[in-house]
Chain A
Amino acid sequence: MTPSFNEMYQNGEVRIPYARLEEWTRGMSPALRTQKQAEAEALFRRIGITFAVYGEGGDPDRLIPFDMFPRVFTAMEWARLERGIKQRARALNAFLVDVYGRGEIVRAGRIPAALVYQNEAYEKSVVGFVPPKGVYSHIVGIDIVRTGPNDFFVLEDNCRTPSGVSYMLESREMMMRMFPHLFRENRIQPVDRYHSLLRRTLNSVAPAKCTGEPTVVILTPGHFNSAYYEHSFLADLMGVELVEGADLFVDGAFVYMRTTEGPRKVDVIYRRIDDAYLDPLCFRPDSMLGIPGLMDVYRSGGVTICSAPGAGVADDKAVYTYVPEMVRFYLGEEPILNNVPTWQCAKSDDLKHVLENLADLVVKEVHGSGGYGMLVGPKSTKAEVEDFRHKILANPGNYIAQPTLALSATPTFVDEGIAPRHVDLRPYCLVGETIELVPGGLTRVALREGSLVVNSSQGGGVKDTWVLAE
């Protein structure tokens, strides 16, 4: 593995976007640092920015570790990322409309039919239905890693309901509150338009039957869900109701919520629950979370569901390989952001390569998430590698493999002082009548030394992400 790129330095010099931060850290005593860290934690707890973990014992309200050292992009770096992200979001939505319609990309032989139509995430109940404005995925979270000054790769796409945007917004609040002078000294582009853009995006996809100002709601599985804080945070910022399944019911051609003044029609549902729990009549009959009859109203254009049921087929890890092909096919453009080279164990040539080089590769389950069920070859013992080899052989179609990328690192406050830790980036692209992206995203950092896994369930933390103005 090549040594990873440290975003703060190049050829032994501090890179320009980090120059002021270097001065800042030199002026910070360990005592001040400890004090600020405690202050941040107290604020997070007081405001209630926690993720709830019930049923494991201990404190149900956990904090995601927050690192005060920001991650910085120049305006030029961001301009390229932004073009690449928006391009990808457009292509993914075009793909979704296509595969639930005529399936041109399959007919053209650019993606295998089985991969699409036999995919678990392919939702047969919405075939032939085109959601308002032709948008399936309204909030696209694209996970991006960096390996060099100009080398960015897309690790995966999240087309359903990517979470974490509240950490992007709150990390910024926290930094502005604790270190206002940093924001005077650096020209940092604001991210606080996010919620108005989200509201505008949701309004713009109101169903045709909606006349006047649409009523938007956020649908949450409830306050025991680990991301409940984020759901209520977004509802509050947008000034919309946060509803649970039991608050909604179907009557005739529309969906209503139960209010103290009687039923009120709902036009747009930003759901934060999985497809399977939306409507017990259509999906899981044992679901307590869903709204019986919702899908009928949806398909007859009485309500919009964001993201649209079925959007998940576009962010499948095996379909991921074909996203550059989607960009070429639908947009007639070359992809601005590259995929990580990926071997699909379902293909015999690829499988051969993977098995021969297992110790150097990262192997993931096609439908896995959260950093579980994966093999990081170079970080595993021989026994672990062999163990995984058997799993792959038993069900090759379930696995993909990628080279172990030398993820970039940024300076991070650790016990011993400041040290580089690996990071990734998740920007949140909004797709409605227009495509919008606030300059920033969620930077996740692997706090354990040498670790490449940034998921919060595996010892990851978050950082504020700066995009400097020109």
Chain B
Amino acid sequence: MLSRTADNLYWLARYMERAETAARLLEVGARISLLPTEQGYRNEWDSLLRSTGSADGFAKKYGEAVQRNIESFLFFDRDNPSSVASSITAARENGRIVRTALTTQVWDALNTAFQELRQIERAPRSELELSRLTDWTMKHAAMVRGAIDATLLRGDGYNFLNLGYYLERGDATARLMDVKYYVLLPRAGYVGTGADNDQWMMLLRALSANRAFHWAYGGEITAAKIAHFLILNPQCPRSLITCVAGANNHLSRVAKLYGQSSQAQTRATALLTLLEQSTPETIFDEGLHDFLSRFIGLTADLAVSINDTYLSGDMA
């Protein structure tokens, strides 16, 4: 497969996953904006934006975190590279470039999302319920994902798409957790209190994982349980270990396909081993923030390896 094709597929997946992340943040952000101000929930919104590295951009352009501004920023704003509109457009453009590496169904799902997005952009904002925007994004992200799983040849292209999905997802989970933990940390006195509970709930909601969490653990929400769920539990679809195991799996498949192992694969395996050997206790001993920073750094190294080995075409 052409390196450029692999690169486009990888980014197609990253952008689709990013669109979904933006939609989830939008849902949570809007929820926050409905809560009473006196309890300091507005900071929540700021911290969520901080996780995508776009808090300053938002403040500069919009100022106040009211629902309409949040919607504009996370859904419509083309100046925000992580907005739903930007991400879906970029995913579709990547797809258009490698049209031949996609099945009709995958292209159709991608192109339909883009065409509908253009309609949404033309519709009067008063007719667009927030829930419609988020549901719409989730639905189309799922349709693209589903078309890939149901129709795409399990060749190298499939593996590069999945690498994009897993890396983007793992990164988003780690950043969201990191930001939340950072906000919580200085107020150690609150840990275990009602306010703290709500903060963690918000985090689970931002990862579409609040129901799943209760099914898996039950009882009181604690920081240790949440850390376990979002970092170490292979049942959680967005946990760090799930994402790393997924990336590792697809790198192994590529290596097997090409009959040649790579530095990327070595790095992914090492990262997986690190997670497998961790417990909530070792993580909290190291410090959650330090652990997550380390993880984010290692994931970035992995992405660089993947790029150097497969996507840049500079192997020659």
Asked whether any CB of chain A lies closer than 8 Å to the CB of B97, the reply is yes
B3 touches A232 (CB 8 A): no
Give the docked Cα–Cα distance between A361 and B4 (Å): 50
User: CB < 8 Å: which of A228, A232, A251 contacts B316?
Assistant: A251
Give the docked Cα–Cα distance between A232 and B96 (Å): 9
Convert A232-274 into 0s and 1s, putting 1 for each residue whose CB lies closer than 8 angstroms to a CB of B. Answer: 1101100001111011010100001111111100000000000
Give the docked Cα–Cα distance between A353 and B141 (Å): 67
Asked whether any CB of chain A lies closer than 8 Å to the CB of B2, the reply is yes
Contacts of A367 in B (CB 8 A): none
Give the docked Cα–Cα distance between A251 and B156 (Å): 26
Given contacts A46-B112, A249-B316, contact A223 B100 (CB under 8 A): no
Kindly report which residue of chain B lies nearest to residue A240, judged by CB atoms: B100
Name the interface residues of A2-18: CB closer than 8 Å to any CB of B.
none
Give the docked Cα–Cα distance between A82 and B126 (Å): 60
Asked whether any CB of chain B lies closer than 8 Å to the CB of A45, the reply is yes
Please report B residues at the A interface, Cβ cutoff 8 Å: 1-6, 93, 96-97, 99-100, 104, 107-108, 111-112, 115, 156, 160, 254, 258, 260, 310-311, 313-316
B96 touches A48 (CB 8 A): yes
Which of B2, B160, B254, B311 gathers the greatest number of chain A CB atoms within 10 Å?
B2
Write the nearest CB–CB distance from A194 to chain B, whole angstroms.
17
A261 touches B2 (CB 8 A): no
B100 touches A235 (CB 8 A): yes
5 closest A-B pairs (Cβ-Cβ)?
A258-B313, A236-B100, A232-B99, A260-B310, A263-B316
A223 touches B4 (CB 8 A): no
Give the docked Cα–Cα distance between A241 and B98 (Å): 10
Kindly report which residue of chain B lies nearest to residue A234, judged by CB atoms: B100
- Ordered by A's residue number, 19 sampled pairs between the chains whose C-beta atoms are within 8 Å are A45-B115, A223-B93, A223-B96, A228-B96, A244-B4, A246-B4, A247-B313, A251-B316, A257-B2, A258-B2, A258-B313, A258-B314, A260-B1, A260-B2, A260-B3, A260-B6, A261-B1, A261-B260, A262-B315
Write the nearest CB–CB distance from B32 to chain A, whole angstroms.
36
Which of A229, A233, A241, A249 gathers the greatest number of chain B CB atoms within 10 Å?
A241
Write the nearest CB–CB distance from A198 to chain B, whole angstroms.
15
Contacts of A242 in B (CB 8 A): 100
Contacts of B316 in A (CB 8 A): 249, 251, 256, 258, 262-263
B96 touches A258 (CB 8 A): no
Contacts of B313 in A (CB 8 A): 247, 258-259
Write the nearest CB–CB distance from B269 to chain A, whole angstroms.
19
Contacts of B3 in A (CB 8 A): 247, 258-260
B6 touches A46 (CB 8 A): no
B2 touches A243 (CB 8 A): yes
* Main DSSP-derived SS at the B contact region: helix
Name the interface residues of A256-304: CB closer than 8 Å to any CB of B.
256-263
Contacts of A236 in B (CB 8 A): 99-100
Report the tally of A-B residue pairs with Cβ distances under 8 A.
Answer: 66
User: CB < 8 Å: which of A46, A47, A229, A241 contacts B2?
Assistant: A241
Contacts of B315 in A (CB 8 A): 258, 262-263
Write the nearest CB–CB distance from B312 to chain A, whole angstroms.
8
Contacts of B6 in A (CB 8 A): 260
* Main DSSP-derived SS at the A contact region: mixed
Convert A43-64 into 0s and 1s, putting 1 for each residue whose CB lies closer than 8 angstroms to a CB of B. Answer: 0011110000000000000000
B97 touches A223 (CB 8 A): yes
Contacts of A47 in B (CB 8 A): 104, 108
A259 touches B1 (CB 8 A): yes
Kindly report which residue of chain B lies nearest to residue A243, judged by CB atoms: B2
Contacts of B108 in A (CB 8 A): 46-47
11 further A-B contacts with Cβ under 8 Å, apart from A223-B93, A260-B311, A261-B258, are: A46-B108, A48-B111, A228-B96, A258-B316, A259-B2, A259-B3, A259-B313, A260-B2, A260-B254, A261-B1, A263-B316
Give the docked Cα–Cα distance between A244 and B112 (Å): 27
Give the docked Cα–Cα distance between A71 and B5 (Å): 39
User: CB < 8 Å: which of B107, B112, B258 contacts A260?
Assistant: B258
Contacts of B258 in A (CB 8 A): 260-261
Kindly report which residue of chain A lies nearest to residue B5, judged by CB atoms: A241
Write the nearest CB–CB distance from A28 to chain B, whole angstroms.
28
Contacts of A247 in B (CB 8 A): 2-4, 313
Contacts of A244 in B (CB 8 A): 4
Contacts of A258 in B (CB 8 A): 2-4, 313-316
Write the nearest CB–CB distance from B34 to chain A, whole angstroms.
37
Contacts of B1 in A (CB 8 A): 259-261
Write the nearest CB–CB distance from A52 to chain B, whole angstroms.
9
Contacts of A256 in B (CB 8 A): 316
Give the docked Cα–Cα distance between A228 and B95 (Å): 13
Which of B3, B99, B156 gathers the greatest number of chain A CB atoms within 10 Å?
B99
Give the docked Cα–Cα distance between A247 and B316 (Å): 12
Write the nearest CB–CB distance from B239 to chain A, whole angstroms.
28
Write the nearest CB–CB distance from B291 to chain A, whole angstroms.
33
Which of A229, A232, A233 gathers the greatest number of chain B CB atoms within 10 Å?
A232
Give the docked Cα–Cα distance between A241 and B8 (Å): 14
Give the docked Cα–Cα distance between A16 and B258 (Å): 59
Kindly report which residue of chain B lies nearest to residue A257, judged by CB atoms: B2
Kindly report which residue of chain B lies nearest to residue A258, judged by CB atoms: B313
Contacts of B260 in A (CB 8 A): 261
Give the docked Cα–Cα distance between A258 and B310 (Å): 9
A48 touches B4 (CB 8 A): no
Contacts of B93 in A (CB 8 A): 223
Contacts of B99 in A (CB 8 A): 48, 229, 232-233, 236
Write the nearest CB–CB distance from A222 to chain B, whole angstroms.
8
Convert A30-51 into 0s and 1s, putting 1 for each residue whose CB lies closer than 8 angstroms to a CB of B. Answer: 0000000000000001111000
Write the nearest CB–CB distance from A98 to chain B, whole angstroms.
38
B156 touches A260 (CB 8 A): yes
Kindly report which residue of chain B lies nearest to residue A244, judged by CB atoms: B4
Kindly report which residue of chain B lies nearest to residue A262, judged by CB atoms: B315
Write the nearest CB–CB distance from A312 to chain B, whole angstroms.
28
User: CB < 8 Å: which of A232, A246, A261, A263 contacts B100?
Assistant: A232
Contacts of A45 in B (CB 8 A): 115
